[in-house]
Amino acid sequence: MDISYPPQTEALRTEVKSFLAEALPPDWKGIGALDEESAWAFARDWRRRLAERGLLSLTWPKEYGGRGLSKLHQVVLMEELALAGVPFGLPQDTFGVKMLANTLLRWGTEEQKSHFLPRILSGEDTWCQGYSEPDAGSDLASLTTRAVREGDEWVIDGQKVWTSGAHHSDWIFVLARTNREAPKHRGISFLLVPLDQPGVEVRPFRMMSGQLHFNEVFFNGARTRADLVVGGVDNGWTVAQSLLGVERGEEAATNPILFRAEVERLVRLAREYGKDQDPVIRQRIAWCWSKVEIMRFLGYRILTGWLKGAEPGPESSIAKLFWSEYHTEVTDLAMDIMGLHGQVPAGRLPLRTYRADDPGAANSSASWSTTYLIARSGTIYAGTSQIQRNILAEKVLGLPREPRGA
């Protein structure tokens, strides 16, 4: 494990710090301190500023609008943005800028890169991810959505679920079965599909937090051009696995920052409710603090491997299991501190629909109680806790495979 940063990254760190000092007001506390309308307005303008300075596409080749810098430079950028309490673009940029753009750079044809990358960078095209299905969530390779070639088009039938932000997106990248005779991890293709067409229906559904974020997406004879396959026909599983590793390094660096800010806010909450001298509450807060420190060092380990080009390994499952289970405990503690006040949400809801609230958020009952509800989903999305434990048991401990049903 190497936790040092080489000198060549410090020029970018200095640039980003200067940019933040110039762009943010002196009394800036983080985007979480803004009301919802002001926060969205800020985020849209902030995305424009990042794009203009080449920070939204830092590691892309220069010919596609990037700056051609390294993964480590990207990590430095994400660290500084997290510390300043500002976002990296808008929510759907997770799928367009981070996921799809990097996938196209590795697997896309020249035509695909030349067409889509500028539109992703400008925000003209917004994207969502079509992976999970009602009967193929954690066991993604069991997907049944199918695509059949008809002339110069693919015709797609099936259903996707838990599709984040589909109701705000123009396009969706879809895993679909294109060879029904092949083993389940093969015969899958990675397709780029426009959402605005008669063969696609997007149905948002409300989460228990009260927010609209997830969607069901139904394909009934949906169509996309034959050349909009990324990485070759029947090679979608390999493409999909490389996409899943895209955020690994960034999250390893930024998760500890966000969760540390949340614990610091929890300490203030305990003081506000007069619980900071309660020995049980103090012990539970200390436990949370220690877990965030462990997360930080685990992040360094993951980051070191990611920067060396290693493929996702068991440490990714350890990290996912660790932070998602931890987050249920820290939000449980917040609810216990607030007592009955936590049952009556008041104040601004979190802007985020996953993980911690944004930096600078007020210690409102609405912020904590909604984050408490969101925390439960963290043990499900991106691989359930049960699946992560199975991976670790089989690949790390060498235990026998879990018995599969007939």
Report the distance separating Cα 383 and Cα 406, nearest Å.
23
Cβ-contact 247, 312 below 8 angstroms? no
Alpha carbon dihedral 143, 141, 181, 105, in 10-degree steps, equals 100
The phi and psi torsions of 344 (rounded to 5 degrees) equal -125, 85
Report the distance separating Cα 14 and Cα 49, nearest Å.
17
Tokens, residue 141: 């390779």
Only one residue has tokens 């002196």, namely 26
Cβ-contact 316, 248 below 8 angstroms? yes
Tokens, residue 400: 């026998």
Cβ-contact 288, 333 below 8 angstroms? yes
Contacts of 317 (CB under 8 A, 6+ apart): 383, 388, 391, 392
In a 3-state reduction of DSSP, which class is residue 212?
A: strand
Q: Smallest Cα–Cα separation from 189: which of 133, 237, 128, 131? A: 237
**Count, residues in the chain:** 406
**Range 112-116 contact pairs with CB under 8 angstroms and sequence separation of 24 or more:** 112/192, 112/227, 112/228, 112/230, 113/64, 114/64, 116/192
Half-sphere exposure for 8 (CA within 13 Å, toward CB): 6
Report the distance separating Cα 59 and Cα 74, nearest Å.
7
Q: Which residues are catalytic?
A: 247
Contacts of 13 (CB under 8 A, 6+ apart): 5, 76, 80
